[in-house]
Chain A
């Protein structure tokens, strides 16, 4: 199994541009999580999905952030417009339901907004 796949691995963009981060969860997993990690705030849960349905988006910082999961094998996190304070490493993780609680994390996307 390839594990959780995230793309791109690195993204550098200018303030005001739209940024789209992508995630492919492990096949068969039905829960997907988006996290953000910064030095100041550590690892923060932004949003998570169960069976492709957003369950809790209370961690999404503001309306500039949106996430979708159109099918079981793909999710996107979009920032529009991006700001320098959005610079962080964004991790996607997936897990299999409630019985198998371990979350598998992807390698992350390092976002730099200039």
Chain B
């Protein structure tokens, strides 16, 4: 079962910041939060990940609350090409020291012109 909950859909005006929330209240201390997005029917694309500190890269920023029970993905200046389904994922430990993702249902972000 997915360990994250996200709103099913959001709209954002082009050029504005898009703030996508995610709840992961059952996250364990060593489990990372990952964000991927899926544009139309393409394969999911990695955006960013973090453990407890805020992270920023060329695509987005990730803000994780101090208790780690929720996070927010920020796209600082959304464009029409950012229209996609955004998945917040908790990476869980698999077997033999490996890890795997459990995808939830994601947030469908529509960027409006």
Residues of A within 8 A of B (CB): 4, 31, 33, 35, 42-45, 48, 50, 55-56, 89, 91, 93, 98, 101-108, 110
Contact = CB atoms under 8 A, between A and B. Distances in A.
B43 A107 contact: yes
Contacts, number: 59
B42 A31 contact: no
B98 A102 contact: no
A73 B99 CA distance: 21
B68 to A, nearest CB: 17
B104 interface: yes
Nearest to A31: B98
Interface string B44-61: 111001000000000000
A42 B104 CA distance: 7
Interface of B: 32, 34, 41-46, 49, 87, 91, 94-106
A31 B46 CA distance: 16
Contacts of A101: 32, 34, 49, 91, 99
A100 to B, nearest CB: 10
A89 B38 CA distance: 13
Nearest to A97: B98
Given A42-B104, A42-B105, A48-B94, A98 B43 contact: no
B103 A55 contact: no
Contacts of A102: 46, 49
A4 B49 CA distance: 21
Given A42-B104, A108-B43, A98 B97 contact: yes
Nearest to A49: B98
Contacts of A31: 98
A33 to B, nearest CB: 7
B43 A56 contact: no
A43 B32 CA distance: 19
Nearest to A35: B103
